[in-house]
Amino acid sequence: MKWNIVADSSCDLLKMDGLGDEEHYGIVPLTIRIGEQEFVDDAKLDVEGMMKTMRSYKGSSSSACPSPGDWAEQFMKADNTIAITITSSLSGSYGSAMLAREMVLEEHPEKKILILDSLSAGTELVLAVYKIHELIMDKVSFDIIEKKIKEYMSETHLLFSLASFENLVKSGRMSRILGFVADKLNMRIIGEASEEGKLEILHKVRGEKKTVSMILDEMKKHKFNGSHVVIGHCFNFESAMALKKNIQDLWNGARVTILPTRGLCSFYVEEGGLMVGY
């Protein structure tokens, strides 16, 4: 195998269609821990079941990054590997991938392995994966892919909205009273991935319509030009479709892909949440 695109499971793209004959797409799963139970974020994960367990558990939950061995197994599959991880400010996945790279290159110095810290999560990683695939199909060299994907990722953005605050309350990041009030007032939190890779809060609004409107306003501020948008939703397909319609009404011809969030992103944004990469 000549080319391997690898992402950790913060990327919501479970599988990829249209791969070339010498191209592979692989996922390295993170693990979600809820009490004594562990949920591996792979293709077998029952995300709905995991979310039910999380809602019923009274304590705080956590996630764990892949081991270097998990990454190394993927790196061995091809001559050229482009790997992308969740922002290093939230997880040790990037560091684990870098250690795996050292391990593999020590035994196989002929391989080329690029590790990208996305400084983001979810659907912004999906955009990067699609772009890497596009560059591979254009038959450009490894070095040119590295240059072009870094340029591309410097221009993409991630917005997210939260409709549930249970994890924030359980982790102590929001008071129980404030979480109760926010829920009763139908509040939403809108945030973004900063240039430093931190998830930061931008706005607090009420209701889904206002949430969609505010997301569109933020896209305009970033001078979105009508290119590819990927919307991830945590059991909120209706709002994802409403956002898609508004995007295509404003930017005629924009390509919009809708995906359900996988285990890790569902864990963070919770039920009703949205992630928008563009």
pTM, 2 dp: 0.92
- Quickly state the pLDDT bin for 28 (edges 50, 70, 90): very high
CATH number at residue 238: 3.30.1180.10
- Which residue, of 120, 153, 186, is where some domain finishes? 153
264 and 182 inside one domain: yes
- Which residue, of 153, 187, 206, is where some domain finishes? 153
- Quickly state the pLDDT bin for 59 (edges 50, 70, 90): confident
Any domain includes 55: no
267 and 229 inside one domain: yes
Within the chain, strands assigned E span 3-8, 23-28, 31-34, 37-40, 62-64, 80-85, 112-117, 158-162, 187-193, 199-206, 229-233, 256-260, 274-277
For the cut 60, the answer to whether the pLDDT of residue 175 exceeds it is no
- Quickly state the pLDDT bin for 145 (edges 50, 70, 90): very high
Least confident of 12-16, 79-83, 141-145, 181-185: 181-185
- Which residue, of 97, 118, 153, is where some domain finishes? 153
**How do strand 37-40 and strand 31-34 relate by DSSP bridges?**
antiparallel
98 and 148 inside one domain: yes
What total number of domains does the chain contain?
2
CA 146 – CA 269 distance, rounded (Å): 30
Within 75-196, strands assigned E span 80-85, 112-117, 158-162, 187-193
Query: What average pLDDT does the chain have?
Result: 92
93 and 145 inside one domain: yes
pLDDT recorded at residue 180: 47
For the cut 80, the answer to whether the pLDDT of residue 163 exceeds it is yes
Residue numbers of the domain that contains 127: 3-30+65-153
Any domain includes 49: no
Q: Running DSSP on this structure, what letter comes out for residue 67?
A: P
119 and 9 inside one domain: yes
102 and 173 inside one domain: no
Interval 72-118: pLDDT, tens = 999 999 999 999 999 999 899 999 999 999 999 999 999 999 999 99
Q: Which residue has the tokens 């926010």?
A: 182
Percent of the chain with pLDDT over 90: 82
pLDDT recorded at residue 172: 53
- With CA atoms as reference, report the closest residue to 31 among 61, 76, 72: 61
CA 91 – CA 51 distance, rounded (Å): 20
